[in-house]
Amino acid sequence: METEKRSDLYEEWKRRAFLGPLPQGFLGVEERNAQQQQEAADQQAALALHQLQMQNMPGMHEPHVVGRLSITIVQAKLVKNYGMTRMDPYVRMRVGHSIYETHTCSNGAKNPHWNKVIHCYLPPGVTQIYVEIYDECSFVMDELIAWGHIDIPPQVLQKGETHEDWCMLSGKQGDNQEGMINLVFSYTVKTKCHPYMNAPSVMRVPSSTVFGVSQYAPVNVYTTPPAAAAIPVVPSSLPTAEIELKQISEMFPNVDKEVIKSVYDANHGKKDITINSLLQMCE
């Protein structure tokens, strides 16, 4: 009798397991559809990122490039230190559709120094760059301190001269009232036999707006240089550069040594051309 009950119970379980109605989504069709949509979105994002990297790869769009622009971000003099501690400023610069950053000047406060040289291809029609200075923060979003649209000096583009200037910055204090940034420009006409590597580009993702100016959270997108391209050596780091820089500094005692070093690097360590460039700047 007990065996019959167990047999009947087993048959009931069997009917429920194999013959009963299947629950909704048993085959996971909806889940797979959602997963397929997510995979398609990821593929589109990857494709867009790949296209951005290809646009920033040197030599990929030869007909749309005019020449190479070198910008040395030397230092800044700001009117106010925001916050309770000394600011840690860094510069974000846009040239055409490419964006570059300096390192952070720790405790730079109102007088940060970077001495950062940026090499980039200059697209046709671009005669202006956009500069932003941020205070790097640890637990909150980096604060935008100052900004400005800066014209590339005409003599740099037309004659290939090296030009150093202090450019006014806007900010919370008002238009052209937040301080100044020291930049050195030089320009070289592009040649196909001497390709140059671009500095790492940065995608900017809008996050919030302060004082009518959009802030951006940086997402670094580093372009991969060609295997055959060598990493350029900074001329001022060479052993013989120290002696030449000292000699040039003695010739121009009223010119800041960092500016001389920047001009020296922009002219690829050529002493005579550096002296001529400094003479033009002092006129």
Instruction: Supply the CATH number for residue 151's domain.
Output: 2.60.40.150
Whether 2 maps to a domain, the answer reads: no
- Verify that 158 and 175 share a domain, yes or no: yes
- Verify that 272 and 145 share a domain, yes or no: no
- Verify that 191 and 278 share a domain, yes or no: no
Whether 108 maps to a domain, the answer reads: yes
* DSSP class of 103: -
Beta strand pairing call for 67-78 and 89-95: unpaired
- Verify that 260 and 223 share a domain, yes or no: no
CA distance 9 to 21: 19
Q: What is the pLDDT along the chain (283 residues), one digit of tens a residue?
A: 666 667 777 777 666 655 555 555 555 545 556 666 666 666 666 666 656 555 555 444 444 556 889 999 999 999 999 888 899 999 999 998 889 999 999 999 999 999 999 998 888 888 999 999 999 998 889 999 999 999 999 888 888 889 999 999 999 999 999 999 999 999 987 654 444 444 444 444 444 444 344 444 444 444 434 444 445 677 878 888 888 888 888 888 888 888 888 888 888 888 888 888 877 776 6
Whether 52 maps to a domain, the answer reads: no
Number of domains the chain contains:
2
- Verify that 212 and 245 share a domain, yes or no: no
Whether 39 maps to a domain, the answer reads: no
Two structure tokens written together for 271: 């002493």
Q: Which of 100, 87, 191 lies closest to 145, judged by CA? A: 87
- Verify that 198 and 271 share a domain, yes or no: no
Whether 57 maps to a domain, the answer reads: no
pTM, to two decimals: 0.52
Two structure tokens written together for 141: 């979003």
CA distance 265 to 255: 16
**The predicted structure's pLDDT at residue 84:** 84
Whether 11 maps to a domain, the answer reads: no
CATH of the domain at 262: 1.10.8.10
- Verify that 217 and 120 share a domain, yes or no: yes
CA distance 35 to 278: 62
Q: Which of 184, 178, 180 lies closest to 143, judged by CA? A: 178
Helix 271-282 / helix 257-266 crossing angle, nearest 10 deg:
130
- Verify that 224 and 112 share a domain, yes or no: yes
- Verify that 118 and 197 share a domain, yes or no: yes
Whether 213 maps to a domain, the answer reads: yes
- Verify that 210 and 239 share a domain, yes or no: no
- Inter-residue contact 232 to 118 (CB < 8 Å): no
- Verify that 157 and 210 share a domain, yes or no: yes
Boundaries of domain holding 179: 62-229
